[in-house]
Amino acid sequence: MARYNFKENERKWQEIWEDRGCFQVSEDKDRPKYYVLEMFPYPSGRIHMGHVRNYTLGDVVARFKKAMGFNVLHPMGWDAFGLPAENAAIENKVPPAEWTRENIATMRRQLKTMGLSYDWTRELATCEPGYYRHEQKMFLDFLKNDLVYRKESWVNWDPVENTVLANEQVIDGRGWRSGALVEKRQLSQWFLKITDYAQELLEGIDQLGRWPDRVRLMQENWIGRSEGAHVHFTLDGRDDKLEIYTTRPDTLFGASFCAVAANHPLAQELAAGNSALTDFIAECNRMGTSEAAIETAEKKGFDTGLRAVHPFIDGRTLPVYVANFVLMDYGSGAIFGCPAHDQRDLDFARKYDLPVLPVVAPKGADAASVMIEDEAFTDDGLLINSDFLDGLGVAEAKSRVIDRLEDMGIGTRAVNYRLRDWGVSRQRYWGCPIPIIHCGDCGIVPVPEQDLPVELPAEVDFSGAGNPLDKHPTWKHVDCPKCGKPATRETDTFDTFFESSWYFARFCAPQSEQPLDRAAVDYWLPVDQYIGGIEHAVLHLLYSRFFTRALKKCGYLSVEEPFAGLLTQGMVCHQTFKDADGKWLFPSQVALDGNDAKHVETGAPVVAGRSEKMSKSKKNVVDPEAIIDAYGADTARLFMLSDSPPDRDLEWTDAGVDGAWRYLNRLWRLVTENTAPIAAVDMAKPDTIGSAAEDVLKAVHKTIDGVSQDLEKFHFNKAVARIRELTNAVEGLKETGPDAEWVRRQGLEALTLMVAPMTPHLAEALWHELGHDGSLVADTAWPTADAAYLVDDTVTVAV
């Protein structure tokens, strides 16, 4: 029985696409553009199934849109800076650049076997000076446009590795690699003013109609807008005031203390002559930031002895504490505590025996009977014990009290955001050098544009701790561009999220001498459809949204939102296996027989565990290259699309792969075994069509209609199901005669064109078998459904 030769065909059609430059594009004002982009990979070494899923999804969209007549930009590149390259350098003594470039070569070769419709002429790697020099220029522009500043800030410091760690790299209060307890340290860092755009970024979310609600909500929460008031408390016996931030100014009459953060200037000042307070502040700074540490940490405070004067109650003063639960970088780093209506304040008040006065009563409750025990009352209610606020609801009381504070000149309405400015300095070698020179006389001096790029030195020493750039014998020593005296380069590099914040724009004109080619970005941006993992829901996707606005401010482009549509794909999962000693086993080491799992070689019993995201550590991985080798790219692609919707997790099973492979062969046989009698490409439509054939013809057009809609909505699994149904229908058409043959041909051509976005190599082979010698499916328009065949003769009505 004829089998589809995937090896020969996949190679053949990939070469033809490449030779003809099928997927190379340029700006074309006469055609609608469509920019589809998958999140570019970090070149870790080899592609994994997550990549296969991501790029398959993108390729289906790209090929479908191309067939629909769009001018499709579909590029690929490499997010090439990052920590693993440095680890490899330390472990294997390979320079990061070399390691990275080798990985890129391997992964490019692997990706090319997938038959993806990329315009490879646009490929870029962020670790190349040709890319990051533009990033350095952008940073200088950000500096000019007041989007960057340098400040001392508290960072996660790993004392063993001598470097800053990102929050994500701190796991349960310890360095993710060294396991050392992470300390808080103050360090001079570069920051991008993302908070300037907090409101814009928040409002922009509403425009992102083609983003998943989940991601929009996560960004909204991350930005974390809150409305409240700043209140200035007079400090008894001092001239300065204590500014606090509150979202509950309505509860001011229930205030029983004030508290400031350990790093609040007031605390620092008072600690100068007070060793007990100094010790307390140190203790606060040592406190872990992990979830567990925060959950179990007791609310602790240190009475400074200062007393704050209550703004409304004559003669009432409030003790001012330094407290471990007050954060310096939110609001003003100081609060007033109203124990009756805030749980933390209540815990604190119970510990230090402070008054608990209820000022909000549940609606309908008798004011005199309101008692606070262990739980603060935080719901809406009516104000009590609050002078001019008594009887008001919470919302109205807030407004009324702020009006009064403003009249008195001691408070203002205020909006606060949880979002912090983006610290971009990293004490790392394998990143983009920050183009700054530190001069003893001139201070901070930007590297002049004509001196860009500041290139990373190739020869570096990775032995010992700390940043190799800092230890390099010559690299950092330069003359000050301003005064000419000996000075030093900034040895920090950018956070690697910097590169991924603008690569989508660089793809529009990757060879341009300018960072961005204005005509190209104006034509292609925004990205019409972006596809990637949900893990970037906040960081990368928020940074990119900010970056785009910053680039607009600097005159580089005119859009504000980089990604008009977003599809977040689910994870690729696989069952896990362990041997009797509890060691993880690769699926390829396990033989399954029903529910019985055994080791392939030893026959020893194997414990089958739950299905989880494929990960190297649990060994539940299947190598894409092995699958492509054994079944071909089309099989892998079809399987990825068949059973699960793209945003849901996908369970990788051998049986499912077999099923996809069987389908390809079925379609191959259906076409090749039918081509002889229906080979004429220009066969004319017969005048009469028998009823069996007509049913199939209707199915053809209904399928075209349904699949088109499914692909438009990314319901790939449904599209596959429809295509299989039509395959069954065409296969079931046993009639002969010109009408049946004509309909059969309609069916086979439609099937060929409709499977093309999913299994493009097979589609080209089928197209060729059907007699289309001169044309490629890749250049052929999507079939159109004839409305005449979409209506049923009978309609079923349920009563």
Compute the least distance from the CB of residue 271 to RNA, in Å: 18
Residue number, 445 or 721, with CB nearest to RNA: 721
Instruction: Tell me the angle at which helices 96-112 and 83-92 cross, rounded to the nearest 10 degrees.
Output: 110
Residue type at 559?
V
Pick between residue 425 and residue 568 the one whose CB is nearest to RNA: 568
Among 636, 628, 495, 651, which residue's Cα sits nearest to residue 574?
Answer: 651
How far apart are CB 249 and RNA at their closest, in Å?
Answer: 8
Minimum Å gap between C-beta 724 and RNA is: 4
Task: Encode 504-515: b = buried (16+ Cβ within 10 Å), e = exposed.
Answer: bbbbbbbeeeeb
Q: What SS3 state is found at 508?
A: coil
Q: Which is nearer to RNA, 136 or 416 (CB)?
A: 416
What does each C-alpha distance from 781 to 63, 551, 589, 757 come to in angstroms?
10, 37, 46, 12
Greatest pairwise CA separation for the chain in angstroms:
106
Least distance between RNA and beta carbon 740 (Å):
18
Q: How far is the CB of 220 from RNA (least distance, A)?
A: 8
Residue 230 CB, nearest approach to RNA (Å):
10
CB 685 within 8 A of CB 746: no
469: helix, coil or strand? helix
Query: Which residue's CB is nearer to RNA, number 123 or number 731?
Result: 731
Report the residue number, 128 or 649, with the smaller CB distance to RNA: 649
Kindly state the smallest distance separating residue 345's Cβ from RNA, in Å: 7
**Cβ neighbours of residue 275 closer than 8 Å, sequence gap 6 or more:** none
Place of tokens 């589609």: 763
Burial of 235-274, coded b for 16+ CB within 10 Å and e otherwise, reads beeeeeebbbbbebbbbbbbbbbbbbbbbbebbeebbeeb
CB of 158: closest distance to RNA in angstroms? 19
Long-range contacts of 294-299 (CB under 8 A, 24+ apart): 297/324, 297/325, 298/351, 299/323, 299/324, 299/325, 299/344, 299/347, 299/348, 299/351
- Considering the complex, what minimum distance in angstroms separates the CB of residue 734 from RNA? 11
Closest separation in Å from C-beta 645 to RNA: 4
Beta carbons of 122 and 509 less than 8 angstroms apart: no
Look at residue 382 and give its three-state secondary structure.
Answer: strand
Residues forming the site for RNA (CB under 7 A): 1, 213-214, 217-218, 221-222, 224, 226, 228, 244-248, 261, 287, 289, 291, 294-295, 297, 299, 324-328, 330-331, 333-335, 342, 344-345, 416, 418, 534, 537-538, 642-645, 648-651, 653, 655-656, 658-659, 662, 665-666, 709, 715, 717-718, 720-721, 724-725, 727-728, 796, 798-799
CB nearer to RNA: pick between 345 and 528? 345
Nearer to RNA, 244 or 383 (CB): 244
447 touches 435 (CB < 8 A): yes
Q: What SS3 class is residue 607?
A: strand
Q: Which two tokens stand for residue 338?
A: 């109203």
Q: Judged by CB, which is closer to RNA: 241, or 418?
A: 418
H or E element that contains 591: strand 590-593
How far apart are CB 571 and RNA at their closest, in Å?
A: 9
Nearer to RNA, 138 or 201 (CB): 201
**Torsion region of 629: left, alpha or beta (phi above 0 gives left; psi -120 to 50 gives alpha):** alpha
Residue closer to RNA by CB (options 213, 239) is 213
Our CB check for RNA shows the closer of 117 and 246 to be 246
- Residue 320 CA, distance from chain mean position: 42
Tell the burial category of 371 from Cβ atoms under 10 Å away from its Cβ (0-12, 13-18, 19+).
exposed
User: How many beta carbons lie within 10 A of that of residue 15, not counting itself?
Assistant: 10
- State in angstroms the smallest separation of the CB of 298 from RNA: 8
Choose between 78 and 716: whose C-beta lies nearer to RNA.
716
Give the end-to-end CA distance of the chain in Å, rounded to a whole number.
50
Name the residue nearer to RNA (CB basis): 17 or 417: 417
Is 56:637 a contact under the CB 8 Å cutoff?
yes
Pick the closest to residue 178 from 197, 192, 158, 156 (CA basis). Answer: 158
Q: How far is the CB of 663 from RNA (least distance, A)?
A: 7
Sign of dihedral through CA atoms 90, 94, 100, 103?
negative
Among the listed residues 30, 64, 250, the one whose alpha carbon sits nearest the alpha carbon of residue 755: 64
To RNA, the closest distance from the beta carbon of 268 in angstroms equals 15
Of 62 and 650, nearer to RNA (C-beta) is 650
Tokens 């074309």, located at residue: 28
